[in-house]
Structure 1
Amino acid sequence: MKITTSRFGEITVAEEDIIRMTEPLLGFPDLKQYVLRDHSDDTPFKWLQSLDDTTLAFVVLDPVLFKPDYAVRLSRSDVEDLQLESEESAQVYTIVVVPQDPKKMTANLQAPLVLNTRNNIAKQVVLNDPQYPIKYPVFGE
């Protein structure tokens, strides 16, 4: 499938690369299909590009890169929704907000995105853990 995005221009997306959300991301009730794109070869950042609204893309990052002790505990229903058969199939990303001063970027540790890498089913999981804020400084405080 070919789509034209506001950020990347025309891109080709293979059917097997489409990420399908079990539920929409919070605040985006009509958007359920995405594709992950690398930001560049030399950074760990990725873009979560919406296929339902091609003007929308989120910067995402593996939280272990900036918070090594970060751990997501999935409920039984989360595991079922994602059709996870093993922990190795789960890739966690956090949505990152990049302000004008990139050194002040924050990541939402309270509501990570969990992706089953075997079937490309994903879910935003809301954690009720006070140690994981919505605006966690990626580059320290």
Structure 2
Amino acid sequence: MKVTTLRFGEIEISPEEIIEFPEGLLGFDHLHRYVILNTQKDSPFRWLQCVEDGQLAFVIIEPLSFMFSYDLEISDSDAEFLGLKKAEDVILYAIVTIPENVQEMTANLQGPIVINAVNRKARQVISNNPELKLKTRILDEMAKRTEKINSLKPAPTSPKKEDES
């Protein structure tokens, strides 16, 4: 299937790649079919490209690619709606906002995208967790994550000296 997009020109996608949002995304409830594009292999960022409207695409990121932990509770009704059976079937993304100063880019952790990897059904959910913010600064969280990871590494040990007799 060919899709003409604003950013990537004409792209070829297989029907198996399509993610179905039965309710659409917030503000775009009339658009239901998207595909995730990985345009830069070493980047944590992806594009959520609308299949029905080639003009519409969102930058997305997996929260755990820039945060040390991300505790999202998926409600029973969301899990049932998506047909989720196991936690391993969940793929999470946050929509990224990139302002003029890229250093201030943010991720919407309060309204993440939850995808069932098995049936490719998705929903943008709204979390009631007050710790999850609508605008979480990605680079600040990356720095905190790196600091936390470095603090968990064992301290280097100095080589033992042999007794001189």
What is the percent sequence identity of the aligned residues? Answer: 44
User: Match for residue 89 of structure 1?
Assistant: 89
User: Match for residue 31 of structure 1?
Assistant: 31
Aligned mates of 1:134, 1:74 — CA distance in 2: 17
User: Match for residue 131 of structure 1?
Assistant: 131
Superposed displacement of residue 119, structure 1 = 1.3
Aligned mates of 2:71, 2:22 — CA distance in 1: 21
User: Match for residue 108 of structure 1?
Assistant: 108
CA RMSD of aligned residues (A): 1.1
User: Match for residue 41 of structure 1?
Assistant: 41
For each residue in 1:89-109, what CA deviation from the matched residue of structure 2 results, as whole angstroms up to 9, or x when unmatched?
101000001112211100001
Which structure ranks higher in relative contact order (CA pairs < 8 Å, sequence separation ≥ 6)?
Answer: 1
Structure 2, gaps ≥5 residues long: 142-165
User: Match for residue 55 of structure 1?
Assistant: 55
Q: Residue type of the partner of 2:48? A: L
Aligned mates of 2:15, 2:39 — CA distance in 1: 21
The answer to whether the 8 A contact 1:22-1:82 is kept is: no
Structure 1, gaps ≥5 residues long: none
Structure number with higher strand proportion? 1
TM-score by length of 1: 0.96
Superposed displacement of residue 39, structure 1 = 2.9
Aligned mates of 1:92, 1:128 — CA distance in 2: 16
Structure number with higher helix proportion? 2
Map 1:5-24; keep pairs closer than 5 Å: 5-24=5-24
User: Match for residue 118 of structure 2?
Assistant: 118
The answer to whether the 8 A contact 1:49-1:58 is kept is: yes
Q: Residue type of the partner of 1:18? A: I
Aligned mates of 2:101, 2:39 — CA distance in 1: 18
TM-score by length of 2: 0.82
Aligned mates of 1:140, 1:73 — CA distance in 2: 23
Superposed displacement of residue 22, structure 1 = 3.0
User: Match for residue 162 of structure 2?
Assistant: none
Q: What's the secondary structure of 2:140's corresponding residue?
A: coil
Aligned length: 141
Q: What's the secondary structure of 1:140's corresponding residue?
A: helix
Structure number with greater Rg is 2
Superposed displacement of residue 124, structure 1 = 0.5
Q: Residue type of the partner of 2:133? A: P
